[in-house]
Amino acid sequence: MHYILCQPAIQRFKWELEVCLTNLIDSNHVKPADIILLFTSHNNKIPQFFADKYGVEVHVYRDERGDKQYIPSVKPYLWWKFLEEDSSRQYETYFYMDSDVIFREKPNISKLPAKPNCWVASNCNGY
């Protein structure tokens, strides 16, 4: 399973990502090779920093969305670019998370009602 995070390559997300990655790797024993970061191409030093420091897989895409007003809309856009780049990726298993999340323990996804070609999401009605 791959843990995947999507965000603009801007300074605001750098600290969040450092905390998140440190939590995943050090506290939850996730292998760096199982973490994928998807960025828009704002500041290429930021994606390179994470590739070098943490050894995670990094992909950078030009942000060609027509409407960029709502920043979180970049997340499905980056997913789309990632899958479009290599269609075989659609057959992998991913755990999508935001960079402002940390876990007390590694999520046990075996308890989720997942099956092939199925998306499972958390209840976000309280946001």
> What CATH number does residue 43 fall under?
3.90.550.10
Residue 36 · residue 3 · CB < 8 Å: yes
What are the average pLDDT values for consecutive 10-residue runs of the chain, which has 127 residues?
A: 93 94 92 97 95 98 92 92 95 89 83 72 70
The answer to whether position 78 is within a domain reads yes
Rounded to the nearest 10 degrees, the angle between the axes of helix 45-54 and helix 11-22 is: 10
Cβ neighbours for 2, distance < 8 A, ≥ 6 positions apart:
34, 35, 36, 92, 93, 94, 95
The answer to whether position 91 is within a domain reads yes
pLDDT for position 127? 61
**For the chain, what is the domain count?**
1
The answer to whether position 47 is within a domain reads yes
The answer to whether position 125 is within a domain reads no
The whole domain housing 52 covers 2-111
